[in-house]
Amino acid sequence: MTYKTRLLIDTILRDSPFAWWEWDVTANRVTFNDLKVTMLGYRVEDFAEKGFEVFTGLLHPDDHKKTMDAMRAVLSGARAIYQVDYRIKDSAGQYRWYMDRGAVLSREGSTVTRLRGLVVDLGDERRHGTDVEALVHLLQRYAEGHDNAIGICSSCKRIRLSKDEWTTVTEELEGILTDALSHGLCPSCIRTLYPDMAEKILARMR
């Protein structure tokens, strides 16, 4: 692993903190690491020895149902993985985006007794409308050497995720990636900047 790659991975990890939780379903007790609550500005003792409601009560009203549905699907055995993105209220009253992924840890017969999950701060990237999962995948491919460069549009500054997908990233991430970026133009900017030639240019690029 090169120094640059390690720096990139360190930065991604530092900027993408994750917290974990474990739910004893039978007793309805949630245990978690400190980060799970400190990242939202709360004190650990306010959440200790409580049921899951202490967390779901902080969900954004628009995200409450889908989060409960995702959990019910795992408890009923319909799905193996609990997987949801939601907004949750921090101690200052602001909603922040998180990605929550969990799996069954133990069951008795067909009844799920324990679940464990990871919570990842989606941070500014999600607020900017970024497809975070696709971006992480892209960065992993670059860090592992499968891709030599990451394409960026010089005009709109979106990053190329795949052949037809482009996404916005924060200036901070753009700065971190500077050396990895290969500049070009995305199809929509080509159409805007060169309307007369756009279709011919795009046809040649395909």
Coil, strand, or helix at residue 197? Answer: coil
CB of 166: closest distance to Zn ion in angstroms? Answer: 7
Return the number of the residue (122 or 153) whose C-beta is nearest Zn ion: 153
Q: Does 155 bind Zn ion (CB under 5 A)?
A: yes
Q: Does 112 bind Zn ion (CB under 5 A)?
A: no
Please list, residue by residue across 129-168, b when 16 or more beta carbons sit within 10 angstroms of its beta carbon and e when fewer do: ebbbeebeebbeebbeeeeeebbbbeeebbbbbeeeebbb
CB of 165: closest distance to Zn ion in angstroms? Answer: 12
Out of 30, 143, 159, 189, point to the residue binding Zn ion (CB under 5 A): 189
Radius of gyration (C-alpha) of the chain in whole angstroms:
21
CB atoms within 10 A of CB 6: 11
Return the number of the residue (111 or 154) whose C-beta is nearest Zn ion: 154
Say how far apart CA 170 and CA 165 lie, in whole Å. 17
Return the number of the residue (149 or 156) whose C-beta is nearest Zn ion: 156
CB of 139: closest distance to Zn ion in angstroms? Answer: 20
Binding site for Zn ion (CB under 5 A): 153, 155-156, 186, 189
